[in-house]
């Protein structure tokens, strides 16, 4: 289910996990969205190896409109799927 299409998107935070296998190791890409206290939208992207305790990297972006956030989220998910990431771990490891 696409988190951006849910009716409760504005009232709750959403998290999307993407996975892929690289050289026998599983990598993840986590995308979290928040509505800030100031009415802005926050998109946090975090990535790394699933075996690592801490993330390898993180990037935060703020948006003034929901449409800008949706566009960036959709572009990010599309780009990551082109690079082999999928939303289920089973598809990655099989």
Which H/E stretch holds residue 67?
A: helix 66-82
Query: What digits encode the pLDDT tens for the residues 46-75?
Result: 999 988 888 889 999 999 999 999 999 999
- pLDDT bin (cut points 50, 70, 90) of residue 7 is very low
Q: Is the whole model's pTM more than 0.85, yes or no?
A: no
In angstroms, the CA 33 to CA 20 distance is: 21
CATH topology for 11-93 is: Nuclear Transport Factor 2; Chain: A, (3.10.450)
Residue 13 is predicted with a pLDDT of 80
Tokens 């089973």 correspond to what residue? 90
Residue 52 is predicted with a pLDDT of 84
């Amino acid at each position: 289910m696409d988190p951006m299409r849910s009716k409760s998107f504005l009232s709750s935070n959403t998290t999307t996990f993407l996975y892929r296998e690289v050289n026998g190791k599983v990598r993840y890409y986590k995308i979290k969205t928040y509505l800030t206290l100031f009415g802005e939208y926050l998109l946090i992207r975090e990535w790394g190896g699933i075996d690592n305790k801490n993330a390898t990297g993180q990037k935060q972006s703020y948006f003034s409109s929901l449409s800008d956030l949706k566009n960036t989220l959709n572009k990010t998910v599309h780009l990551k799927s082109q690079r082999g990431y999928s939303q289920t771990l089973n598809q990655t490891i099989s």
